Amino acid sequence: MKYKVDTHSHTIASTHAYSTLQEYITVAKQKGIALFATTDHGPDMTDAPHAWHFINLRIVPRVVDGVAILRGMEANIKDEFGEIDCNDRMKEELDIILAGFHEQVFSPKDRETNTRAMVNAMKNGIVHIITHPGNPKFPIDIEAVAEAACKYNVALEINNSSFLHSRVGSDVNCRAVAQAVKDAGGFVSIGSDSHIAYTLGNFEKSLEILKDIDFPDERVLNHSPATLLNFLESRGMVPIPEFEYLK
Ligand SMILES: [Zn+2]
Ligand SMILES: [Zn+2]
C-alpha cells in the first residue's frame, strides 16, 4: 500500500460513526497503515462528543501495536470570520486540527460569503486541513481558496467519502480543487473520512483524481508519515519523540 497515512476518521464518539479507536487500530495494523489521525466532530455538530473528549485525548497512547495515532478534531467553521468550535483548551491537547463546513452549524451561503469564511478560517492560524472544500452545497471561489491555502500553509482535502456516500457532485469540484492547489504550489490531503473502521486508508477515488492531473506526490500530506509530521512541525507542532522512528 502506497499511502500509509490517513488524516480523517470518526469513532463512536460521534454517534453517526460506528467503530471504536481500538477497532481503527486493528484495521490500521491489518492494512499496514503506519499513522492515522482520530478526528471526531467538533462539539458544535449535532451528536458530536463533549469538549472533554478532545481535552482527554492525551490519555491515548502515541503508538499501539506499531500504529501511531495523532490526536485530532474535525472542527466546524461557524461564521464568515472563520471562527471554529475548537477553543484554546482543546487546541492545547491536539496534534492536528481539520475544519470544514457542516450544514448543521453553518448553513450554505453565497459563493463570496462561503469563500470569506473558509479563507478566514485558514488565516486564523489554527487549522491544518480544510475538509471537503469540493462540497457542491457550499460553492466557493476555488482559485482564491487554493491561493489562500498556499499562503497560510493549509492543506485542502480531496475527501474520498465525497465520491462514495455523501456530498454528491463533488467529483468535478474536487478535480478543480486539486488542480488549483497544484497551480498554487500548496498541499492536498486525502482523508478517508471513515465513519467505520473498515474504510480506513481507502483513498482510491481521491488518488484517481490526483493521478489524472499529475499532482506531485511530495505535496500530498499522506504521502508518508514524515511528510505529514514535517508539515505539522512546520506549522508549530512540537516534535513528538515517540514518532521519531517514522521519519
Ligand atoms: Zn466533515
Ligand atoms: Zn469527517
Q: What pLDDT does residue 134 have?
A: 94
Reading the block at residue 178, the C-alpha cell is 486539486
Tens-digit pLDDT profile for residues 25-66 = 999 999 999 999 999 999 999 999 999 999 999 999 999 999
Q: What pLDDT does residue 2 have?
A: 75
Q: Please report which confidence band the pLDDT of residue 165 belongs to, taking 50, 70 and 90 as the band edges.
A: low
Q: Please report which confidence band the pLDDT of residue 95 belongs to, taking 50, 70 and 90 as the band edges.
A: very high
Q: What pLDDT does residue 163 have?
A: 76
Q: What pLDDT does residue 1 have?
A: 54
Question: Mean pLDDT throughout 129-149?
Answer: 97
Ligand nearest to the CA of 7: 2
Range of the domain at 17: 5-246
Reading the block at residue 243, the C-alpha cell is 514518532
Number of domains in the chain: 1
**DSSP conformation letters of 179-207:** HHHHHHT--EE----BSSGGGTT--HHHH
Q: What pLDDT does residue 48 have?
A: 97
Reading the block at residue 238, the C-alpha cell is 512540537
Do the strands 67-76 and 63-64 form a parallel or antiparallel pair, or are they unpaired?
A: antiparallel
Which range (57-71, 110-124, 161-175) has the least confidence? 161-175
Q: Please report which confidence band the pLDDT of residue 160 belongs to, taking 50, 70 and 90 as the band edges.
A: confident
Position 195, amino acid: H
Distance 134 CA to ligand 2 centre (A): 13
| Mean pLDDT, rounded, of the chain | 96
Distance 10 CA to ligand 2 centre (A): 6
Reading the block at residue 48, the C-alpha cell is 458530536
DSSP 169: T
Tens-digit pLDDT profile for residues 170-212 = 889 999 999 999 999 999 999 999 999 999 999 999 999 999 9
Neighbouring residues of the ion ligand 1, judged by CB less than 5 Å: 100, 131
Tell me the helices (H) and strands (E) count for the chain, helix number first. 8, 8
Q: Residue 209's domain is classified under what CATH number?
A: 3.20.20.140
Distance 100 CA to ligand 1 centre (A): 6
Q: Please report which confidence band the pLDDT of residue 78 belongs to, taking 50, 70 and 90 as the band edges.
A: very high
Do the strands 5-6 and 188-189 form a parallel or antiparallel pair, or are they unpaired?
A: unpaired
Distance 79 CA to ligand 1 centre (A): 16
C-alpha closest to that of 201 among 13, 20, 35, 12: 35
Distance 199 CA to ligand 1 centre (A): 15
Distance 21 CA to ligand 1 centre (A): 18
